[in-house]
Amino acid sequence: MTKQLRLNAFDMNSAMHNSHGLWKHPENKRQDSYKDISYWTDLAKLLEKGKFDAIFFADVVGVYDVYQQSKAPSIKQAMQVPINDPALLVSAMASVTKHLSFAVTVSTTYEHPFSNARRFSTLDHLTNGRVAWNIVTSYLPNAARNFGLEGLIKHDERYDIADDYLDTSYKLWETSWEDDAIVNDRQADVYIDPDKVHEINHEGPYFKVEGPHLSEPSLQRTPVLFQAGTSARGRDFAAKHAECIFVGGPTPAKVKELVADLKTRVEAHGRKREDVLIFSFLSVIVAESKVDAEQKLEEYNQHWSSLAAKAQFGASGYDIAEFEDKDPDDIFSYDKPTEGGHYKAATLTKDNAKALTVGEALKRFDGITNQVIVGDPDHVAAEIQTLFTESDVDGFNLNHFVTPSDLEDFVSLVVPKLQASGIYKQDYAEGTFRKKLFPHLGNKLPDTHRAKSFKHEQALS
């Protein structure tokens, strides 16, 4: 069978996600409607109609304030602010769908693993196993200061914390309740057998948790684990824990290199290559005809905001204001490691110094992402297939610029072409999100995953 393409809608519970300046576009309903349940339930129905695997909710818990060392640029452009909690959307969206899954971002730096584990178990119950956790360690300095810290915890230590966090979570999800703990024995007047419910008594370098877990086992137990590490430490973390890895790169060839590197790291952790799926980023501007699509792009570009783009670039840890007047060759000598950076924790190189200049990485919508495909449905579907093959990924997180129209157009125009080509499902498989992604595994993590290395503690009674 042809390798099947996976698609997630890349989103955020915010007024604007990656749509720099497009609150000005007359067709954009987003900034007015993201606060309404009906926006999200309608979107869920649309995505299920388009056979999307999941909606992937990115999240931040601070305001971007690296550019010009100010929060004002982000706020002026509503660049990922305001932003509401994504987990709270899930039950409404799940109630109007049967197959669409939900990947929710939560930071291991600012939420406690005990309550986080209960939240994901609750969602896994309510959705019948359609939930994933996108694990982040958070890169925004303001987020750190919102949670009582002086500034960002250093990059590698954030991953050390995340490792301990994951181990705590695995013990709660995988070892605390045995499968047959609920005995429902009326004769003996025992609903749950206390011998089959276990404290975890976790004592790690960062977390100390007694347990037991408060939720009974859900279909998946551990939610499907997403991660987007790009630094060496981040990639190693992803290879150790994640089942779906989100990567980016300037060209399909670079993405392919990253995929190969990640798969090697996955095997180094004793895991199988086929137990991990890799997703990259995709933007599409589609219309019935090439001319219409190009006109749409032109309209988007008219509303484009360089201020929003520069504010978001602060995620790299670099303040682009320091480079705006400089020649890239001068920037090369600028040597400043970024601890907080999302993309890397490394010294500035000539390549990314050039990318920092407004003329290159911060182009308008035709150049803002690694790949933006513009054209009629046949062209778009063909380009997606090429990208899919050349980058060797398993699927894409599909961006939107103007919503809901971008996604409506994608579902009505592109999805049928992808289906006709044989690389995209005509209908969903049955079962949980993990079972849909990994039919050879089923509902639960495989034995080769670290989560399965923990044994339960002695019985309570």
Measure the CA dihedral 148/152/154/157, to 10°. Answer: 50
Q: Is 59 known as a binding-site position?
A: yes
Identify whether the C-beta of residue 123 lies closer than 8 Å to the C-beta of residue 92: no
Q: Binding site annotation covers 159?
A: yes
Rounded to 5 degrees, what are φ and ψ at 243?
Answer: -105, -25
* Residues from 286 through 305 that contact a second copy (CB under 8 A): 305
Neighbour-count burial of 325, counting CB atoms closer than 10 A to its CB (0-12 exposed, 13-18 middle, 19+ buried):
exposed
Q: Please identify, using beta-carbon distances, which residue of 223 and 234 lies nearer to a second copy.
A: 223
The smaller minimum CB distance to a second copy, of residues 156 and 216, is found at 216
Partnered with residue 135 across adjacent β-strands are 106, 227
Which of 5, 43, 123, 153: binder of a second copy (CB under 8 A)?
A: 123
Q: Is residue 151 close enough to count as binding a second copy by CB under 8 A?
A: no
- Tell me the closest approach of the beta carbon of residue 171 to a second copy, in angstroms: 12
Give helix 252-268 / helix 232-241 axis angle, nearest 10°: 60
Least distance to a second copy from the beta carbon of 62, Å?
8
Does 305 count as an annotated binding residue? no
Query: How many residues sit in the footprint of a second copy (CB under 8 A)?
Result: 80
**Strands (DSSP E) found in 376-443:** 395-398
What would the two tokens of residue 288 be? 């019935």
User: CB-wise, 129 or 375, nearer to a second copy?
Assistant: 129
CA dist 228 to 13, 278, 354, 397, 401, Å?
19, 10, 24, 12, 21
Alpha-carbon distance 73 to 314, whole Å?
11
Q: Does 430 bind a second copy (CB under 8 A)?
A: no
**Residue with Cβ nearer a second copy (57 or 281):** 57
Site residues (CB under 8 A) for a second copy, limited to 313-372: none
Tell me whether the omega of the peptide bond preceding residue 212 falls within 30 degrees of 0, making it cis.
yes
Select from 201-209, 222-230, 270-278, 422-430 the region that touches a second copy (CB under 8 A).
201-209
Site string for a second copy, 158-187 (x = CB under 8 A): --------------------------x-x-
Q: Which residue in the set 8, 108, 169, 215 belongs to the binding site for a second copy (CB under 8 A)?
A: 215
Q: Where are the alpha helices (DSSP H) in 127-183?
A: 141-146, 155-170
Q: How far does CA 241 lie from the centroid of its chain?
A: 14
When asked if residue 84 is in the footprint of a second copy (CB under 8 A), the reply is yes
CB closer to a second copy, 197 vs 437 = 197
Residues 6+ apart with CB under 8 A from 148: none
If one asks whether residue 458 binds a second copy (CB under 8 A), the answer comes out as no
Is residue 205 at the binding interface for a second copy, with CB under 8 A as the rule? no
In angstroms, the CA 249 to CA 252 distance is 7
Query: Which range, of 84-92, 277-285, 288-296, 335-343, touches a second copy by CB under 8 A?
Result: 84-92
Residue of 212, 234, 375, 377 that binds a second copy (CB under 8 A): 212
Q: Is 231 annotated as ligand-binding? A: yes
Asked if 404 touches a second copy (CB under 8 A), the answer is no
| Residues in the annotated binding site for FMN | 59, 105, 155, 159, 231
